[in-house]
Amino acid sequence: MNSCTKIITLGLLQLLLITSVLAQEAPDLDVFTIGRIKYGGGGDWYSDPSALPNLLGFLEQETGIKAAEREVPVEPSDRAIFNLPYLYLTGHGNVKFTDEEAANLRRHLTSGGFLHVDDNYGLDEHFRREIKKVFPNARLEEIPYSHPIFHSHFDFANGLPKIHEHDNMPPQGFGIFYEGEMVLFYTYECDLGDGWEDPDVHHDPEEVRIKALKMGVNIIVYALQRFN
């Protein structure tokens, strides 16, 4: 294990310790996984079923971080969310948070958690409405290409890769910050999740899939390095 991987692993252990104290439960400190947000409102929170297993496998391959084979579905109101420091939300349609869910998400994200929201086309207006319940006084800020999230493990000098065309707009990354730290990263007009899927799902060229996977690793590594 090289020094960079040791630093990342230390950050992971520290982050898991913080969230386990909040949940009063001890997670498996040897394995990293992703919590997939199971939201209400009718949107397909479960879309791209092969995406996160592929990303977790690529993460372990490229960084040496021990990763689970699959993600863990979790509802925003569930106490178990505090054992999942890295969360992911995607879909094509409506998202709806109750007041309880919004409060639980806010508590998690302001006490060490991180959320990656990935627009799978059609999510944008619903996500922007609901995230105001979670952070009513914060705004989504466009993230410059110089930000560490684009350089944490692989170098993306021009920001997010374009995976699927959607409305032929450039991909953009937005963030929400708490006490100077980015706690939420929103990938818009990019569709990383489709790029993470099995090759026979969208028939993306291999170089496009690798770009998507590398950017996914960057997001995870950035989230873990915040505690170093």
Tokens representing 32 are 């990293």
pLDDT at 21 over 70: no
pLDDT at 202: 87
Domain extents for the chain?
3-225
d(CA 20, CA 28) in angstroms, rounded, equals 10
d(CA 89, CA 85) in angstroms, rounded, equals 13
pLDDT at 35 over 60: yes
Better-predicted residue by pLDDT, 149 or 17: 149
Q: Kindly give the pairing relationship between strand 72-74 and strand 86-91.
A: unpaired
pLDDT at 5 over 70: no
pLDDT at 159: 97
pLDDT at 127 over 60: yes
pLDDT at 205 over 90: yes
Q: What share of the chain has pLDDT > 90, as a percent?
A: 80
Tell me the pLDDT band of 12, cut-offs 50, 70 and 90.
low
d(CA 127, CA 129) in angstroms, rounded, equals 5
How is 135-168 classified by DSSP, letter by letter? -TT---EEPPTTSGGGTSSS--TTSS-----TTT
- Report whether 31 contacts 90 (CB < 8 A): no
pLDDT at 70: 96
Lowest pLDDT segment from 6-10, 40-44, 173-177: 6-10
pLDDT at 213: 98
How is 48-98 classified by DSSP, letter by letter? STTHHHHHHHHHHHHH---B-SS-EEE-TT-GGGGG-SEEEEEESS--B--
d(CA 36, CA 46) in angstroms, rounded, equals 8
Looking at residues 84-99, what average pLDDT do you find?
96
pLDDT at 83 over 90: yes
Looking at residues 19-23, what average pLDDT do you find?
38
Tell me the pLDDT band of 153, cut-offs 50, 70 and 90.
very high
Closest CA to 191 of 95, 47, 54: 47
Tokens representing 107 are 């508590």
pLDDT at 121: 87
d(CA 200, CA 210) in angstroms, rounded, equals 14
Tell me the pLDDT band of 28, cut-offs 50, 70 and 90.
low
For residue 110, give the amino acid letter: T
Distances (CA, A) of 51 to 34, 150, 157: 11, 20, 24
pLDDT at 77 over 50: yes
Q: Give the alpha-carbon dihedral of 197, 72, 152, 204, to 10 degrees.
A: 0
Domain 3-225, second-level architecture: 3-Layer(aba) Sandwich (3.40)
pLDDT at 54 over 90: yes
